[in-house]
Structure 1
Amino acid sequence: MRLRDFVEEFATATGDQSLTVVNSDQPPTVTRMLTGLFTNQPVNIETVNRALAEEDVVQLRRDGHVVSESRFGDLRDTILAVNADIYTTGVRSLADVETPAVIRDLEGIKFHVRGYPAASKGKLLLIEISRYIESLAADAGGGELHAGFQRLSRLTHERGTRRAYDELVQTDLSIHVYGVGQLDMPTSWHLTVHADDASELRRGWFVIFDPPANTQIAGAALVAYSIDIEQNEWVGVWTSDANSIRRLRSYLTTTYKASVD
């Protein structure tokens, strides 16, 4: 079992998945941005006008049944009208992360995305879910958080990522970070580093929150794998299944031992 195998295993969604825009009062460009974000993905985009229905909402439907609903304006502000710079520059804190339900509930769907330079917004879904999982961990304040950065230096060199982990290390979380190279971290940070030159860590992207035992707190895990590093091309999926979360966490801690200075 390797990281890429978990992507395939967690892709459990079946049936027709769609995001239906109901009674939109957004400019047409916003709907086009939503359509563009999901082009060539296993999620259909539909636009309908319905009498007596709520205005300006997006519904996630599975085989025609409504799974969840979000304000279209919230989807615009958190995903469609932003770019990846908001995450790397640190404009938004973890406390400000409010991922719309229709995005969170796309779990179990394998997405095939491209980042810069091939696409400007392709990776936003995976980036947003990464921050969402980190925000879950921050809110819980305990349990385990495991995250893979490809290169460990990104943890401190990307201002947004560093800001997020500045917040996370102030909690009682057990934080584990994975990647290649060295991590020159602040002395105030208390986390476990798993440094390894393994190919799958160079290509792997994962964020896993396993909540404290014997609590009702929900966990989540994202796992993605680069199928073309030069083109910044990824396949990825996320899940809230507790058993899947623990299996992925166990694989990582068993395969990649903590580094010793």
Structure 2
Amino acid sequence: MNTFIYSTSRPVCKTLLPRLDIHRAMGLREFIDEFADGDHETSLSIVNSEQPPMVARMLNSLFEEQSVDVDEVARVLSESDVIQLRRDGRVVAESEFDDVRDSILAVNSDLYITGTRPLEDVDTPAVVRDLEGTRFRVRGYPAGTKGKLLLIEISRYIEAMALRHGDGELHTGFQRLSRIVDERGTERAYEKLADTDLDVHVYGVGDPSPLESRALTVHDEDVPEIRRGWFVVFVPPPESEAVGAALVAVTEDDVEWDGVWTIDTGRARRVAAYLSAEYGQN
């Protein structure tokens, strides 16, 4: 196990995480199994749609292989062109259709890879954010189309949450450390994150030397869980009123990802504690 701390002279505030019994520690896949909430019926309704049929079908296409039903409904006394998220028939979130279109439906991953949309501009619609607990099995290009964008959007949402707070811990699994510098948008995002009081931990395989000048704790771990794990975990300081969040996903073939996210400080803290116990905390 190789753990490197690369930092500038800026002092880094360390968040104390609870100790974890490694013998009872859960792996990433076990966290997915625990956080996935399969006991509720989840659906998205386009209410009083004014969208062309092709645009409305894009939403259905995004979720057609997932455990989320999509329909179009007309409701008197309801606003037009909104999307409602329902659990067991009860509305739990609502967003403008245009916001969902602009954040997910009408974009591709290049928006974030190139840095066209910086972290400061990330504004994830509530009906996407509040799909927490829904287990997604998505495929990236070329095997799939839009599905992986859900996980990318939530990754950026959690990173943006951490940037806004500017303190606590952020743990991110990249599979390959080279992605941090090869993707311009990712590089800029982590430059901004490292320039705060956050304690930023990055995990992956490959040469860590290009990250030597960054205020990052680099975990160079050539093990299956790190090679196949995608996680973004924000844990606020213990005294903070900020809310923590975690995205956890795994792959067996680099094509299909099995993942879930949770917006819950206690759960995020447990994932971060596991990563620190398993791969080192400095």
TM-score, normalised with respect to structure 2: 0.88
How much has 1:144 moved relative to structure 2? 0.3
Counterpart of 1:138, as a letter, is L
Q: 2:204 corresponds to which residue?
A: 179
How much has 1:24 moved relative to structure 2? 1.2
Q: How far apart, in 2, do the equivalents of 1:196 and 1:188 lie?
A: 19
Give CA deviations for 1:230-256 in whole Å, capped at 9, x if unaligned. xx1100000012221111111111111
Spell out structure 1 runs of 4+ moving beyond 4 A: none
Q: Secondary structure at the match of 1:123?
A: helix
Identity score, percent: 59
Q: How far apart, in 1, do the equivalents of 2:272 and 2:149 lie?
A: 24
Q: How far apart, in 2, do the equivalents of 1:184 and 1:126 lie?
A: 28
Q: Structure 2: 5+ residue runs without aligned partners?
A: 1-25
Higher relative contact order (CA 8 A, sep 6+): 2
CA contact (8 A) 1:152 1:182 kept: yes
Q: How far apart, in 1, do the equivalents of 2:97 and 2:185 lie?
A: 26
Residues 97/83 of structure 1: CA separation in 2 closer, same or farther (3 Å cut):
same
Q: 1:157 corresponds to which residue?
A: 182
Q: Secondary structure at the match of 1:213?
A: coil
72, 84, 103: which one aligns with 2:128: 103
Q: 1:257 corresponds to which residue?
A: 280
Kindly report the root-mean-square deviation, in angstroms, between the aligned alpha carbons of the 2 structures: 1.3
Q: How far apart, in 2, do the equivalents of 1:181 and 1:68 lie?
A: 41
Q: 1:246 corresponds to which residue?
A: 269
Give CA deviations for 1:84-130 in whole Å, capped at 9, x if unaligned. 11111110110100000000000011100000110121200000000
- Tell me whether 1:125 sits opposite 2:150 in the alignment: yes
How much has 1:228 moved relative to structure 2? 2.1
Q: How far apart, in 2, do the equivalents of 1:72 and 1:84 lie?
A: 20
CA contact (8 A) 1:144 1:209 kept: yes
Q: 2:230 corresponds to which residue?
A: 205
Counterpart of 2:140, as a letter, is G
Give CA deviations for 1:145-197 in whole Å, capped at 9, x if unaligned. 00000001111111111111111111110000001112244555211011111
Residues 2/219 of structure 1: CA separation in 2 closer, same or farther (3 Å cut):
same
Which stretch of structure 1 is more off in the superposition, 3-12 or 204-213? Answer: 3-12
Q: Secondary structure at the match of 1:228?
A: coil
Q: How far apart, in 1, do the equivalents of 2:263 and 2:184 lie?
A: 28
How much has 1:77 moved relative to structure 2? 0.4
CA contact (8 A) 1:227 1:235 kept: no
Counterpart of 1:243, as a letter, is G
Give CA deviations for 1:14-64 in whole Å, capped at 9, x if unaligned. 221000100111221121110000011010001011122111100000011
CA contact (8 A) 1:194 1:258 kept: no
- The number of aligned residues is 257
TM-score, normalised with respect to structure 1: 0.95
CA contact (8 A) 2:174 2:204 kept: yes
Q: Structure 1: 5+ residue runs without aligned partners?
A: none
Q: 2:60 corresponds to which residue?
A: 35
Q: 2:16 corresponds to which residue?
A: none
How much has 1:6 moved relative to structure 2? 1.1
- Tell me whether 1:14 sits opposite 2:42 in the alignment: no
